[in-house]
Amino acid sequence: METVTQFAPEEAADPIALFRAWLDEATETEPNDPVAMALATATPDGHPSVRMVLMKRLDERGFSFYTNVESQKGRELLENPRAALCFHWKSRRRQVRVEGVVEELSPQDADEYFHSRSHKSQIGARASQQSRPLASRAELEQAAQTCAEQYPDEVPRPDYWRGFVIVPARIEFWQDGAYRLHDRIVFERSNDSWTKTRLYP
């Protein structure tokens, strides 16, 4: 794997390798959740929304995460399979922006990850009707209790709990610079290779 310990755009040919290096460095200094990312989606007619989620895997396909497809973001991902991400590592004064198409992960992949979570997290995922109106906190806690009694051991993954991967077409790296002279470099995919361009800050 290509090793990059600083911004060094002239040395970076593979944006995924550069991202991994930045993530490794952020893992050492971020106080909480270096894999947290802002996920932006939009309705088919272009109404955007954004929220924080956790990246669960980075591989040759792209950036993967899991969600309830009956939630707002889930519906938007299915109806308009394009999305953008932003990682912000304040401790490193860096951010990475990702844009690309969205593909659904296989049911087997979703099963594997779902059952890697704690039993209580599985119960929470099954009990929550994500993004729908909730009368009270007590109602949610009762739903979780009922679900826990129904599934004391194995919790079946609900069909609505699925995984997605954002296949990157564009990845931009931003490094804070003195007097607003920031470093910005963008990688854009062209077939199976990447082109690299430096941008004005």
Catalytic residues: 180
Q: Per DSSP, which regions of the chain are E strands?
A: 36-42, 48-54, 57-58, 63-68, 82-89, 94-104, 161-175, 183-190, 193-199
